[in-house]
Amino acid sequence: MNRQKDDPSEDSNFRALTTTVMFNDFEKLESMIKSAQFSRYIKLIRFSINLDGKENRSKNHSFLPSDNLSLMHVAAFYDALECFIILSQNGFQVDCQSADSLHPIQYACYSDAVEIVSYILQVKPSEATFNFSDKVFIYLFIILFIYARLLD
């Protein structure tokens, strides 16, 4: 299925799903997953996030694309733990890849989503040792260090 820019209902469906996850409205997400209107969009890797919307972030986002993401990536970036878990329970993998082969844990680390990182590491510990690029690895290392300190 090709996403056409001139289809306003399709764009509004993507926006509605993104907004629902962004605000961690897990009850609404559960009903959207069951809805025929949204079911065909849920699994697509066509969602976007606003990297500039996060406070205290570097303006160099070249290593972290903001488009062509799954809803898992969106939930990870916006620290929407309940939505992340619901998506996981509905067939999404915590280590799914974006169109650029990036994982949700990379977006969670970038946005300091410690709960998401913790959840991912509980259900898929191998994500901690996945061979990420050097730039992304630095963010992952920092967040894992912070998480370890919180456990002390």
For residue 117, pLDDT beyond 50: yes
Three-state helix/strand/coil letters over 37-76? HHHHHHCCCCECCCHHHCCCCCCCCCCCCCCCECHHHHHH
What is the 8-class DSSP label of residue 4? P
Q: CB of 99 within 8 A of CB of 130?
A: no
Q: What is the mean pLDDT of residues 27-35?
A: 95
CATH architecture assigned to 8-151: Alpha Horseshoe (1.25)
pLDDT at 150 > cutoff 60: yes
- Which comes out higher in pLDDT, residue 106 or 74? 74
φ, ψ dihedrals at 12, nearest 5°: -70, -30
The amino acid at 76: A
Say which range, 32-36, 49-53, 78-82, 139-143, has the weakest mean pLDDT. 139-143
pLDDT in tens, 61-73: 556 889 999 999 9
In which band, very low, low, confident or very high, does the pLDDT at 17 lie, cut at 50, 70 and 90?
Answer: very high
